[in-house]
Amino acid sequence: APARRLGPRSRAGPTIRGVTLPLLDTDTLRQLGAHAPAAPCPACAPLRCPGWESLSGASDASHLQPVGTLRDEAVEEPTLDEHHPGGTHLWSPDAPIAPRWHPYNLCSVWQCPACARAYLRYTEHGGYYVDERIRLLDAAKVVDAAAPA
């Protein structure tokens, strides 16, 4: 089946900090990831996370601003399947960023107003815990993989 293109939607997405987030397409996601400077600003320096990392109390991401979402609210039950064709795993720094696959299909996209670095964020809800996670948005790792059947 052909890949369904993620695109900006006219319907409202989730609201974070009073901002209704647009659903981002893969091209926009790549553009956001491509704007990162070689060196992060001082506020983003502790957030250099090429793979998923837990946002601990020691990490401050309060300066980041929400800019969009990958959570398509038209999909009632987003897949929990992950996309790892090269044998990577969730925590791999070189794992692909596949917007239609878990956990990216639950992510919001945040950006630093000072250096324009973009980050993916989502909350993992385990049986006995809630874990806020963050990953640097690397344009080179964004893939337009079709949603699982």
Helix (H) or strand (E) holding 68: strand 65-69
DSSP three-state, residue 30:
helix
Nearest Cα residue to 115 out of 25, 47, 55, 53: 47
Block residue for tokens 């001082």: 42
Report yes or no: 109 and 35 within 8 Å, Cβ to Cβ. no
Give pLDDT tens digits for 84-104: 999 999 999 999 999 999 999
Block residue for tokens 């969009």: 68
**Omega prior to 37 cis, within 30 of 0:** no
Q: What does the pLDDT profile of the chain (149 residues) look like in tens digits?
A: 333 334 444 445 666 667 789 999 999 999 999 988 888 899 999 887 899 999 876 678 899 999 999 999 889 899 999 999 999 999 999 999 999 999 999 999 999 999 999 999 999 887 788 889 999 999 999 999 998 87
Question: pTM for the whole thing?
Answer: 0.86
Whole-angstrom Cα distance, residue 69 to residue 90?
19
